[in-house]
Structure 1
Amino acid sequence: MEINNQFITPMRSWTLEDLRTQRNQRPQESEGATLFKDIFDNVVNNVKVTQADVENKQYLLATGQLEDAHSLPIAESKAAISLNMMITLRNKALSAYSELIKMNT
Protein backbone atom coordinates (compact mmCIF):
# COMPACT_ATOMS: atom_id res chain seq x y z
CA MET A 1 0.00 0.00 0.00
CA GLU A 2 1.49 3.30 -1.07
CA ILE A 3 0.87 6.46 0.99
CA ASN A 4 0.37 9.69 -0.88
CA ASN A 5 2.47 12.32 0.94
CA GLN A 6 1.24 15.09 -1.28
CA PHE A 7 -1.16 16.47 1.36
CA ILE A 8 0.87 15.67 4.46
CA THR A 9 3.06 18.44 5.79
CA PRO A 10 5.71 17.42 8.30
CA MET A 11 5.52 19.13 11.68
CA ARG A 12 8.36 21.30 12.83
CA SER A 13 9.12 22.71 16.23
CA TRP A 14 8.08 26.23 17.08
CA THR A 15 10.54 28.84 18.15
CA LEU A 16 9.93 31.92 20.22
CA GLU A 17 10.62 34.08 17.16
CA ASP A 18 7.86 32.28 15.21
CA LEU A 19 5.34 33.09 17.93
CA ARG A 20 6.37 36.75 18.03
CA THR A 21 5.99 37.18 14.28
CA GLN A 22 2.58 35.48 14.33
CA ARG A 23 1.33 37.85 17.03
CA ASN A 24 2.56 40.93 15.19
CA GLN A 25 1.07 39.98 11.85
CA ARG A 26 -2.19 41.64 11.06
CA PRO A 27 -4.85 39.30 9.70
CA GLN A 28 -5.91 39.85 6.13
CA GLU A 29 -9.40 41.17 5.54
CA SER A 30 -11.59 38.47 4.16
CA GLU A 31 -14.04 39.05 1.35
CA GLY A 32 -16.93 38.96 3.83
CA ALA A 33 -15.34 41.62 6.01
CA THR A 34 -14.84 44.00 3.11
CA LEU A 35 -18.39 43.32 1.92
CA PHE A 36 -19.78 44.19 5.36
CA LYS A 37 -17.57 47.27 5.53
CA ASP A 38 -18.83 48.44 2.14
CA ILE A 39 -22.45 47.86 3.13
CA PHE A 40 -22.00 49.68 6.42
CA ASP A 41 -20.23 52.59 4.68
CA ASN A 42 -23.09 52.84 2.19
CA VAL A 43 -25.66 52.87 4.99
CA VAL A 44 -23.80 55.59 6.90
CA ASN A 45 -23.43 57.69 3.75
CA ASN A 46 -27.14 57.21 3.01
CA VAL A 47 -28.00 58.53 6.48
CA LYS A 48 -25.76 61.57 5.93
CA VAL A 49 -27.27 62.32 2.52
CA THR A 50 -30.89 61.98 3.65
CA GLN A 51 -30.26 64.09 6.75
CA ALA A 52 -28.62 66.79 4.63
CA ASP A 53 -31.64 66.73 2.32
CA VAL A 54 -33.98 67.20 5.30
CA GLU A 55 -31.93 70.12 6.60
CA ASN A 56 -31.92 71.73 3.15
CA LYS A 57 -35.68 71.36 2.77
CA GLN A 58 -36.22 72.73 6.31
CA TYR A 59 -34.14 75.77 5.41
CA LEU A 60 -36.04 76.26 2.17
CA LEU A 61 -39.38 75.97 4.00
CA ALA A 62 -38.29 78.44 6.70
CA THR A 63 -37.20 80.98 4.10
CA GLY A 64 -40.32 80.51 1.97
CA GLN A 65 -38.46 79.05 -1.00
CA LEU A 66 -39.94 75.54 -0.84
CA GLU A 67 -42.62 75.24 -3.49
CA ASP A 68 -44.06 71.87 -2.49
CA ALA A 69 -44.56 71.54 1.27
CA HIS A 70 -45.16 67.78 1.06
CA SER A 71 -41.54 67.10 0.07
CA LEU A 72 -40.30 67.89 3.61
CA PRO A 73 -42.28 65.12 5.37
CA ILE A 74 -41.24 62.70 2.62
CA ALA A 75 -37.57 63.62 3.13
CA GLU A 76 -37.98 63.27 6.91
CA SER A 77 -39.50 59.81 6.47
CA LYS A 78 -36.62 58.75 4.21
CA ALA A 79 -34.11 60.00 6.77
CA ALA A 80 -35.89 58.17 9.60
CA ILE A 81 -36.00 54.92 7.63
CA SER A 82 -32.32 55.12 6.72
CA LEU A 83 -31.39 55.88 10.35
CA ASN A 84 -33.50 52.97 11.61
CA MET A 85 -31.82 50.69 9.08
CA MET A 86 -28.38 51.77 10.26
CA ILE A 87 -29.33 51.21 13.90
CA THR A 88 -30.73 47.76 13.10
CA LEU A 89 -27.59 46.84 11.18
CA ARG A 90 -25.43 47.99 14.07
CA ASN A 91 -27.49 46.02 16.58
CA LYS A 92 -27.30 42.87 14.46
CA ALA A 93 -23.53 43.24 14.12
CA LEU A 94 -23.11 43.71 17.87
CA SER A 95 -25.36 40.72 18.53
CA ALA A 96 -23.34 38.55 16.16
CA TYR A 97 -20.10 39.74 17.74
CA SER A 98 -21.33 38.93 21.25
CA GLU A 99 -22.39 35.46 20.07
CA LEU A 100 -18.89 34.90 18.69
CA ILE A 101 -17.37 36.00 22.00
CA LYS A 102 -19.66 33.61 23.88
CA MET A 103 -18.46 30.75 21.65
CA ASN A 104 -14.85 31.32 22.72
CA THR A 105 -15.58 31.14 26.44
Structure 2
Amino acid sequence: IQGVRAADTATWAAVLWQSVGNTLFGYAAWGWLLSRHPAAVITPMAMLVPVFGMGASAIWLGESLPPWKLLAAGLVMSGLAINIFWPTLERRLARA
Protein backbone atom coordinates (compact mmCIF):
# COMPACT_ATOMS: atom_id res chain seq x y z
CA ILE A 1 0.00 0.00 0.00
CA GLN A 2 2.88 2.36 0.77
CA GLY A 3 4.35 1.80 -2.66
CA VAL A 4 1.09 2.79 -4.37
CA ARG A 5 0.76 5.87 -2.21
CA ALA A 6 4.38 6.90 -2.80
CA ALA A 7 4.26 6.37 -6.59
CA ASP A 8 5.06 9.48 -8.58
CA THR A 9 4.12 10.48 -12.12
CA ALA A 10 7.05 8.60 -13.66
CA THR A 11 6.00 5.41 -11.88
CA TRP A 12 2.42 5.68 -13.12
CA ALA A 13 3.66 6.49 -16.63
CA ALA A 14 5.74 3.29 -16.55
CA VAL A 15 2.74 1.29 -15.34
CA LEU A 16 0.60 2.78 -18.11
CA TRP A 17 3.24 1.98 -20.73
CA GLN A 18 3.60 -1.61 -19.52
CA SER A 19 -0.12 -2.22 -19.35
CA VAL A 20 -1.26 -0.44 -22.51
CA GLY A 21 1.71 0.33 -24.75
CA ASN A 22 3.46 -3.02 -24.59
CA THR A 23 0.21 -4.95 -24.70
CA LEU A 24 -1.04 -3.13 -27.78
CA PHE A 25 2.32 -3.49 -29.51
CA GLY A 26 2.57 -7.17 -28.60
CA TYR A 27 -0.89 -8.10 -29.80
CA ALA A 28 -0.59 -5.96 -32.94
CA ALA A 29 2.75 -7.54 -33.86
CA TRP A 30 1.44 -11.03 -33.09
CA GLY A 31 -1.70 -10.46 -35.18
CA TRP A 32 0.32 -9.02 -38.05
CA LEU A 33 2.65 -12.03 -38.06
CA LEU A 34 -0.23 -14.52 -37.86
CA SER A 35 -1.96 -12.84 -40.79
CA ARG A 36 1.11 -13.50 -42.95
CA HIS A 37 2.46 -16.83 -41.68
CA PRO A 38 1.03 -20.11 -40.35
CA ALA A 39 0.67 -20.35 -36.57
CA ALA A 40 3.07 -23.31 -36.49
CA VAL A 41 5.81 -21.05 -37.84
CA ILE A 42 5.14 -18.08 -35.55
CA THR A 43 4.31 -19.75 -32.23
CA PRO A 44 7.81 -21.16 -31.52
CA MET A 45 9.18 -17.61 -31.72
CA ALA A 46 7.52 -16.92 -28.37
CA MET A 47 10.44 -18.88 -26.90
CA LEU A 48 12.64 -15.89 -27.72
CA VAL A 49 10.85 -13.62 -25.23
CA PRO A 50 13.04 -14.62 -22.26
CA VAL A 51 16.18 -14.40 -24.40
CA PHE A 52 15.37 -10.83 -25.45
CA GLY A 53 14.39 -10.03 -21.86
CA MET A 54 17.79 -11.16 -20.60
CA GLY A 55 19.55 -9.18 -23.31
CA ALA A 56 17.53 -6.03 -22.68
CA SER A 57 18.09 -6.21 -18.93
CA ALA A 58 21.82 -6.58 -19.52
CA ILE A 59 21.92 -3.59 -21.87
CA TRP A 60 19.59 -1.18 -20.09
CA LEU A 61 19.83 -2.25 -16.46
CA GLY A 62 23.41 -3.48 -16.38
CA GLU A 63 22.44 -6.93 -15.15
CA SER A 64 25.07 -9.60 -15.51
CA LEU A 65 24.95 -12.37 -18.07
CA PRO A 66 26.74 -15.29 -16.42
CA PRO A 67 27.84 -18.17 -18.63
CA TRP A 68 24.90 -20.35 -17.63
CA LYS A 69 22.42 -17.71 -18.91
CA LEU A 70 24.32 -17.42 -22.20
CA LEU A 71 24.32 -21.21 -22.50
CA ALA A 72 20.57 -21.31 -21.82
CA ALA A 73 19.94 -18.61 -24.45
CA GLY A 74 22.12 -20.52 -26.91
CA LEU A 75 20.19 -23.72 -26.30
CA VAL A 76 16.86 -21.98 -26.85
CA MET A 77 18.09 -20.35 -30.06
CA SER A 78 19.63 -23.63 -31.28
CA GLY A 79 16.38 -25.46 -30.67
CA LEU A 80 14.45 -22.81 -32.57
CA ALA A 81 16.94 -22.90 -35.45
CA ILE A 82 16.56 -26.67 -35.71
CA ASN A 83 12.78 -26.33 -35.59
CA ILE A 84 12.72 -23.64 -38.27
CA PHE A 85 15.29 -25.09 -40.64
CA TRP A 86 14.52 -28.79 -40.18
CA PRO A 87 12.15 -29.12 -43.18
CA THR A 88 14.85 -27.68 -45.47
CA LEU A 89 17.56 -29.88 -43.97
CA GLU A 90 15.33 -32.94 -44.21
CA ARG A 91 14.69 -32.31 -47.92
CA ARG A 92 18.42 -31.87 -48.56
CA LEU A 93 19.25 -35.07 -46.67
CA ALA A 94 16.57 -36.98 -48.57
CA ARG A 95 18.06 -35.86 -51.89
CA ALA A 96 21.58 -36.86 -50.86
| Same-fold status (TM-score > 0.5) | no
Report the TM-score, using the length of structure 1 for normalisation: 0.38
Q: Which structure has the larger Rg?
A: 1
Q: Relative contact order (alpha carbons < 8 A, sep ≥ 6): 1 or 2 greater? A: 1
